[in-house]
């Protein structure tokens, strides 16, 4: 019988990908010590936003899927809390593992902490310092409900300390006496593990997508600030289209369903024009292995995604961040990521700088040694 029973809560695409690093480390190193139950809130549910990752990344199917689906923040989060609470009361796990900053993270944190199950937060301490962002509220509440907090970067660890978390706390750790760690990033573990596999398993993918290595730009857009405000969304897309035509380069965009919904319902004519532009390829969301290949072989990345920003660094690609601030501040300080918001002039300036630059950018190892998941699990075992 494994020593501890851990509940792993996922819901949104990036959490499923992150959970694969933990599941793999349990399988390879801790299968005698840790048993894992996966709870999927159902926040993401399209095949290409959920199921594809379980299949491709070999994660066990969730034992529970709450099927919550899309709704406003209040309704979505409350349905998740109620569903998770029931599962926790039935399963009585030793601890609850949460990733990142989505509504699924928040729901898991509140449900578990209020029932006094220890919460373990992976990707703790990240802050944008913009509380208008739903994710910022989710991060703060989740961190302050946790017993073990795994910060991926120095900046994240410092943020926790400035909110009163003390590195000198001694065991036994509890929600009132939490432990903070610097771990590195489990997504770096994943990139190291899957990058080569992607080359093997998806050998024809670039070709089939009509892409030539180093001669395309990869763009993703899904943040609420960029998709709910159609003027911002239009400005971003129009600027990218014009730049692609001007530089005779393809921009490929595996678009999040949220963005496609906005385009279809609120910018229909513009969307139709865009689809006819030979320099712009809008496609469905891709699998993680396909995304890995797109990132590895592109010229520049343009994104408002947290995960994709970091992956730009893993693959040594310059990155334009379609936001006013970022939690991954080391990338901006390094000069290889530029905050451009949604303003045409700023996107254009930094895009052309990166396209025309022959600077040999450096990409230092900000994100650990690729063994963050192993470290996290061994620390969890020490707690029990
Ligand atoms: C959520 C997270 C965000 C994260 C992102 C990862 C919150 C508050 N936000 O944003 O931090 O970066 O996931 O991708 O938790 N939709 C579909 N099919 C799906 C999923 C979503 O069509 O499978 C559409 C629905 O119209 C839905 C919209 O996308 O209303 C937004 O989905 P939601 O999960 O609420 O937020 P995300 O924008 O995905
Ligand atoms: N991703 C993917 N397919 C896509 C777009 C993204 O596999 O079509 C992966 C990407 O490589 C990264 C993660 O999804 O690992 C990022 O998720 P997302 O951008 O949805 O959310 P965020 O990181 O901003 O929370």
Alpha-carbon Rg for the chain, nearest whole angstrom, is: 21
Residues in Cβ contact with 83 at an 8 Å cutoff, skipping those fewer than 6 apart: 41, 64, 66, 68
Catalytic option among 222, 256, 279, 313: 222
What length is written for the chain?
A: 384
The answer on 117 and 35 residing in a single domain is yes
Nearest ligand to the CA atom of 45: 1
Give the pLDDT score at 2: 82
Give the pLDDT score at 359: 82
Query: Distance between CA atoms of 146 and 105, rounded to whole angstroms?
Result: 11
Asked if residue 222 has its Cβ within 6 Å of ligand 1, the reply is yes
* Domain CATH code at residue 340: 3.40.50.2000
Between the CA of 147 and the centroid of ligand 2 the distance, in Å, is: 27
The answer on 206 and 165 residing in a single domain is no
Q: How many domains is the chain built from?
A: 2
What's the distance, CA 116 to chain centroid? 27
Asked if residue 285 has its Cβ within 6 Å of ligand 2, the reply is yes
The answer on 317 and 240 residing in a single domain is yes
Asked if residue 286 has its Cβ within 6 Å of ligand 2, the reply is yes
Give the pLDDT score at 172: 96
The answer on 301 and 205 residing in a single domain is yes
Identify whether the C-beta of residue 5 lies closer than 8 Å to the C-beta of residue 35: yes
Give the pLDDT score at 241: 98
The answer on 56 and 166 residing in a single domain is yes
Between the CA of 363 and the centroid of ligand 2 the distance, in Å, is: 21
Q: Which atom in ligand 1 lies closest to the alpha carbon of residue 43?
A: 34
Residue 247 lies in a domain: yes
Residue 186, exposed/middle/buried by CB under 10 A (0-12, 13-18, 19+)?
A: buried
Give the pLDDT score at 39: 98
- Peptide bond preceding 172: is omega within 30 degrees of 0, i.e. cis? yes
Between the CA of 211 and the centroid of ligand 2 the distance, in Å, is: 20
The answer on 197 and 171 residing in a single domain is no
Identify whether the C-beta of residue 66 lies closer than 8 Å to the C-beta of residue 80: yes
Measured CA to CA in angstroms, residue 340 lies from 302, 320, 323, 345 at distances of 10, 6, 6, 9
Residue 81 lies in a domain: yes
384 residues of the chain, pLDDT tens digit each: 788 999 999 999 999 999 999 999 999 999 999 999 999 999 999 999 999 999 999 999 999 999 999 999 999 999 999 999 999 999 999 999 999 999 999 999 999 999 999 999 999 999 999 999 999 999 999 999 999 999 999 999 999 999 999 999 999 999 999 999 999 999 999 999 999 999 999 999 999 999 999 999 999 999 999 999 999 999 999 999 999 999 999 999 999 999 999 999 999 999 999 999 999 999 999 999 999 999 999 999 999 999 999 999 999 999 999 999 999 999 999 999 999 999 999 999 999 999 988 788 999 999 999 999 999 999 999 987
The answer on 131 and 30 residing in a single domain is yes
Q: Which atom in ligand 2 lies closest to the alpha carbon of residue 223?
A: 24
Q: Does 222 participate in catalysis according to the annotation?
A: yes
Asked if residue 15 has its Cβ within 6 Å of ligand 2, the reply is no
For residue 68, give its domain range: 4-185+368-383
End-to-end CA distance of the chain: 15
Residue 361 lies in a domain: no
């Amino acid at each position: 019988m494994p020593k501890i029973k851990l509940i792993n809560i996922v819901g949104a695409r990036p959490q499923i990908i992150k959970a694969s690093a933990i599941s793999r480390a349990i399988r390879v190193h801790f299968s005698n010590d840790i048993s894992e139950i996966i709870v999927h809130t159902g926040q993401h549910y399209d095949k290409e936003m959920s199921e594809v990752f379980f299949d491709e990344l070999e994660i066990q199917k969730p034992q529970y899927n709450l099927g919550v689906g899309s709704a406003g923040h209040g309704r979505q989060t409350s349905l998740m809390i109620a569903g998770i609470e029931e599962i926790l009361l039935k399963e009585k796990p030793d601890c609850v593992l949460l990733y990142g900053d989505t509504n699924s993270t928040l729901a898991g944190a509140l449900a578990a902490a209020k029932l006094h199950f220890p919460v373990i937060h992976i990707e703790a301490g990240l802050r944008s310092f913009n509380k208008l962002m739903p994710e910022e509220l989710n991060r703060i509440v989740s961190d302050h409900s946790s017993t073990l907090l795994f910060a991926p970067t120095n900046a994240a660890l410092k943020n926790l300390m400035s909110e009163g978390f003390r590195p000198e706390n001694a065991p036994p750790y509890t929600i009132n006496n939490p432990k903070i760690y610097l771990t590195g990033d489990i997504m770096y573990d994943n990139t190291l593990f899957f990058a080569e596999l992607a080359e093997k398993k998806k050998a024809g993918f670039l070709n089939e997508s009509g892409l030539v290595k180093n001669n395309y730009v990869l763009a993703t857009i899904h943040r609420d600030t960029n998709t709910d405000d159609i003027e911002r969304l239009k400005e971003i897309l129009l600027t990218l289209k014009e730049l692609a035509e001007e530089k005779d380069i393809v921009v490929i965009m595996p678009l999040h369903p949220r963005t496609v919904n906005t385009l279809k319902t609120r910018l229909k004519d513009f969307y139709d024009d865009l689809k006819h532009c030979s320099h712009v390829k809008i496609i469905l969301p891709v699998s993680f292995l396909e995304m890995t290949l797109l990132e590895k072989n592109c010229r520049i990345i343009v994104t408002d995604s947290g995960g994709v920003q970091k992956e730009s660094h893993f693959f040594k690609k310059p990155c334009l961040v379609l936001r006013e601030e970022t939690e991954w501040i080391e990338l901006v300080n390094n000069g290889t990521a530029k905050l451009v918001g949604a303003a045409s002039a700023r996107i254009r300036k930094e895009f052309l700088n990166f396209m025309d630059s022959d600077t040999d950018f450096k990409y230092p190892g900000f994100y650990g040694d690729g063994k963050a998941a192993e470290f996290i699990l061994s620390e969890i075992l020490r707690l029990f």
